[in-house]
């Protein structure tokens, strides 16, 4: 069962978010994970969906809005996707992606975008299976990043 998370269900997702961060080589910090998610939800800066099995959250995805002036549309970035290791390869990730895509469609979005590490071939396979195509950044725009702020 996929559920949109509100502040009332926040504690269900905190351990998963912490595990997600650890997967990406960050130190485990439940307090920091809780504070971050609580701030995003309370300020309506993100949307969280969680997959539940037997009353326990086993996976989540987090979406952030992005705006397109040319399309005059609010679109979504699927920024985080994580499924507990024992529940992987059961279609949970695909269900979370489909819930995110349905939400974006209902919100009038023209696209749902995501990125993943180049070596994360398991995730890449899932994204292709769920309808994502690779954007070629050289065809229209170049993406730059500034870290000295």
pTM, two decimals, is 0.88
pLDDT of residue 117: 82
The class of domain 2-129 in CATH terms is alpha beta
Tally the residues of the chain: 149
| Domain ranges for the chain | 2-129
Q: How far apart are CA 33 and CA 15, in angstroms?
A: 8
pLDDT of residue 137: 55
pLDDT of residue 148: 62
Q: Are 38 and 7 in contact (CB under 8 A)?
A: yes
Mean pLDDT in each 10-residue stretch from start to end of the chain (149 residues)? Answer: 96 98 96 98 97 96 94 91 92 96 92 85 87 70 58
pLDDT of residue 141: 61
pLDDT of residue 101: 94
CB-based burial of residue 25 (10 Å sphere; 0-12 exposed, 13-18 middle, 19+ buried)? exposed
**Which residue has 């507990």 as its token pair?**
84
Q: How far apart are CA 138 and CA 75, in angstroms?
A: 21
Say which residues have a Cβ less than 8 Å from residue 40's Cβ, sequence separation at least 6: 46, 48, 62
């Amino acid at each position: 069962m996929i559920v949109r998370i509100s502040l009332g269900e926040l504690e269900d997702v905190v351990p998963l978010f912490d595990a997600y961060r650890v997967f990406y080589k960050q130190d485990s910090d439940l307090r920091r994970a809780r504070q971050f998610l609580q701030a995003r939800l309370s300020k309506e800066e993100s949307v969280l969906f969680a997959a539940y099995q037997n009353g326990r959250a086993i996976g989540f995805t987090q979406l952030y809005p992005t705006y397109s002036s040319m399309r005059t549309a609010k679109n979504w970035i699927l920024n985080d996707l994580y499924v507990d290791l024992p529940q992987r390869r059961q279609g949970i990730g695909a269900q979370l992606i489909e819930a995110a895509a349905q939400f974006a469609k209902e919100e009038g979005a023209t696209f749902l975008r995501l990125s993943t590490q180049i070596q994360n071939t398991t995730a890449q396979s899932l994204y292709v299976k769920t309808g994502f195509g690779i954007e070629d950044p050289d065809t229209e725009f170049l993406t730059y990043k500034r870290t000295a702020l």
